[in-house]
């Protein structure tokens, strides 16, 4: 197995955009400095205010350039040609998120620590694969009813730091070009900058507090949400039909950059049999000290891993799961058309996990993996397709192609011959089988399959004559 997860294109592109904008502004400021008399103190203050944005851009770009690779035995982070790798069996502890912005996912062994940004393309899939491999992650969910989550103190600290940061930045700007005495500067800062800023931030905090739960209680028969401000809400879990991770995507609106700066967040959605949904967005889960992936895993373990009393019917639950699966299929189709194959594969796999009928998409996943030259993974996808549909001649043919690329020629001939048995007029399988037999030195069978292929597709003969392997058969 080799699964590749690129670090976030969103943050990488945002970092590049910030550095580009700051560079452009620096050029303008230097030009103004040169062509007109400007107070050096004012210019220095402006540049100092701009510097943090430039550093943030560099930080985002550097942290999100690279990829995380999962193999059968190890996890590896590659960045700027530097590789850091640890074995799954050596991981003794982990941390869902640290103090970085955006947060890191941290894995620890007895001797080393591996950190990488949680902002990864298809992070839930990476998380699920890691849980299969790392015992420390598999053993993390030991919840029992009632499961109570509390708002973390970091929520309040973040607001305090946000207020101080904004006040410092705006206060610095208010001093640029101000030649008044110190007392006048202080009064001006308080009346025109600090007070309005504090009022706006308090209004924003009030709005945030209304939507932020201070405590959530998951019980066998109900979910209780106690907000910081407002009336508590209660949901009957016996009406629950599904719990799933919903991918929320969007794009920044900076003109021509809109198409390449894309953000992805994940929400935990609980569906009820009357059509209502209980949604825990990513910031809410983070404020409670959990990732959405862990919250999702914990809730599914509580409510679906063990028998419980339900009010809904199996038919209702099946309809709900199919509706969610249809959503992921549409999402996968859109990514497929745009050739964003990694995202398409994630969407199709989510659809298959919800609705088993959609396991037919394994074949499409195999085709995308083939195009990305990930032949081992493609081979596995085709094998799953054949296990489900043994008479799928195209899957047998494409499996043969994978085996040829992997230089397993004898196995490839058997796959091609199975496709030919299912469809004797399958010209592509006949032609490919001739190539595979040529690779193992069986010229008699190679010639026979090539002649059958060209009989069905005579227009292929010029290409066969130019083929370095098949050209020899036209000389005899």
User: What confidence category does residue 258 fall into, taking pLDDT thresholds of 50, 70 and 90?
Assistant: very low
pLDDT at 249: 62
pLDDT at 338 over 90: no
pLDDT at 399: 95
User: What confidence category does residue 380 fall into, taking pLDDT thresholds of 50, 70 and 90?
Assistant: very high
Q: How far apart are CA 278 and CA 245, in angstroms?
A: 12
Map tokens 């809400």 to a residue.
233
Output the CA–CA distances (angstroms, integers) from residue 311 to 44, 242, 314, 324, in the order listed. 67, 13, 10, 20
CB burial string 257-296: b at 16+ within 10 A, e below: eeeebbebebbbbbbbbeeeebebbbebbbbbbbbbbbbb
The pLDDT of 66-76, averaged and rounded, is 91
Find, among 322, 329, 404, the residue nearest to 364 by Cα. Answer: 329
Range scoring the smallest mean pLDDT among 103-107, 177-181, 445-449: 177-181
Cis-peptide, bond into residue 45, ω within 30° of zero: no
Map tokens 């058969």 to a residue.
473
Quote the DSSP letter at residue 8.
P
pLDDT at 138: 62
The pLDDT of 273-287, averaged and rounded, is 85
User: What confidence category does residue 139 fall into, taking pLDDT thresholds of 50, 70 and 90?
Assistant: low
Span 2-138: which CATH code? 2.30.29
pLDDT at 323: 74
Quickly count: other Cβ atoms within 10 Å of residue 21's Cβ: 15
Domain 394-476 class, CATH top level: mainly alpha
Tokens describing residue 177: 């070009």
CB 347 within 8 A of CB 331: yes
Output the CA–CA distances (angstroms, integers) from residue 31 to 46, 293, 390, 403, 435, in the order listed. 14, 50, 71, 62, 66
Q: How far apart are CA 381 and CA 363, in angstroms?
A: 6
pLDDT at 51: 85
pLDDT at 260 over 70: no
List the chain domain ranges: 2-138, 154-211, 394-476
pLDDT at 412: 93
Map tokens 């004012």 to a residue.
42
51-69 tens-digit pLDDT: 888 888 898 899 889 999 9
CB 419 within 8 A of CB 427: no
pLDDT at 314: 42
The pLDDT of 407-433, averaged and rounded, is 93
pLDDT at 21 over 60: yes
Burial of 2 (C-beta count, 10 Å sphere; 0-12/13-18/19+): exposed
pLDDT at 313: 40
162-179 tens-digit pLDDT: 777 776 766 665 555 454
Ranked by mean pLDDT, the top range of 312-326, 423-437, 457-471 is 423-437
Q: How far apart are CA 248 and CA 464, in angstroms?
A: 49
pLDDT at 368: 94
């Amino acid at each position: 197995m080799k699964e590749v997860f690129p670090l976030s294109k969103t943050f990488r592109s945002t970092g590049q955009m910030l550095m580009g904008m700051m560079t452009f502004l620096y050029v303008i400021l230097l030009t103004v400095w040169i062509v007109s008399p400007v107070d050096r103190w004012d210019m220095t203050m402006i540049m100092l205010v701009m510097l943090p944005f430039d550093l943030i851009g560099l930080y985002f770009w550097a942290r999100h350039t690279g990829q995380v690779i999962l193999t059968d035995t190890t996890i590896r982070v590659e960045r700027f040609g530097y590789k850091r790798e640890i074995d799954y069996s050596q991981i003794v502890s982990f941390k869902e998120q640290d103090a970085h912005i955006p947060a890191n996912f941290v894995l620890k062994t007895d001797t080393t620590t591996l950190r990488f940004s949680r902002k990864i393309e298809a992070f839930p899939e990476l998380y699920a694969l890691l849980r299969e491999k790392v015992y420390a992650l598999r053993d993390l969910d030991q919840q029992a009813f009632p499961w109570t989550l509390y708002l973390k103190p970091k929520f309040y600290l973040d607001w305090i730091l946000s207020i101080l940061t904004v006040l410092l930045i705006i206060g610095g700007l208010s001093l640029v070009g101000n030649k008044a005495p110190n007392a006048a500067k202080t009064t001006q800062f308080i009346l025109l900058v600090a007070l309005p800023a504090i009022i706006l931030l308090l209004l924003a905090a009030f709005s945030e507090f209304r939507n932020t739960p201070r405590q959530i209680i998951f019980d066998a028969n109900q979910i209780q949400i106690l907000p910081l401000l407002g009336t508590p809400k209660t949901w009957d879990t016996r009406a629950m039909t599904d719990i799933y991770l919903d991918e929320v995507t969007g794009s920044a609106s900076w003109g021509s950059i809109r198409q390449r700066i894309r953000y992805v967040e994940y929400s935990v959605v609980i569906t009820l049999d009357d059509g209502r949904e209980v949604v825990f967005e990513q910031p809410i889960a983070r404020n409670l000290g959990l990732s959405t992936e862990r919250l999702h895993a914990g809730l599914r373990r509580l409510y679906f891993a063990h028998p419980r009393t339900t009010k809904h019917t199996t038919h209702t639950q099946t309809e709900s799961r199919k509706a969610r699966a249809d959503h992921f299929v549409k999402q996968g189709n859109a990514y497929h058309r745009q050739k964003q194959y990694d995202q398409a594969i994630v969407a199709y796999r989510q659809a298959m996990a919800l609705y088993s009928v959609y396991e037919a998409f394994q074949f499409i996943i195999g085709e995308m993996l083939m195009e990305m030259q990930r032949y081992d993974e493609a081979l596995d996808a085709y094998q799953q397709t054949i296990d489900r549909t043994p008479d799928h001649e195209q899957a047998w043919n494409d499996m043969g192609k994978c085996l040829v690329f992997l230089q397993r020629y004898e196995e490839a001939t058997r796959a091609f011959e199975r496709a030919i048995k299912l469809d004797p007029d399958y010209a592509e399988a006949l032609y490919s089988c001739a190539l595979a037999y040529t690779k193992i030195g069986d010229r008699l069978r190679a010639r026979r399959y090539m002649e059958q292929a060209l009989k069905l597709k005579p227009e292929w003969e010029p290409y066969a004559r130019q083929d370095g392997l098949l050209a020899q058969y036209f000389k005899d």
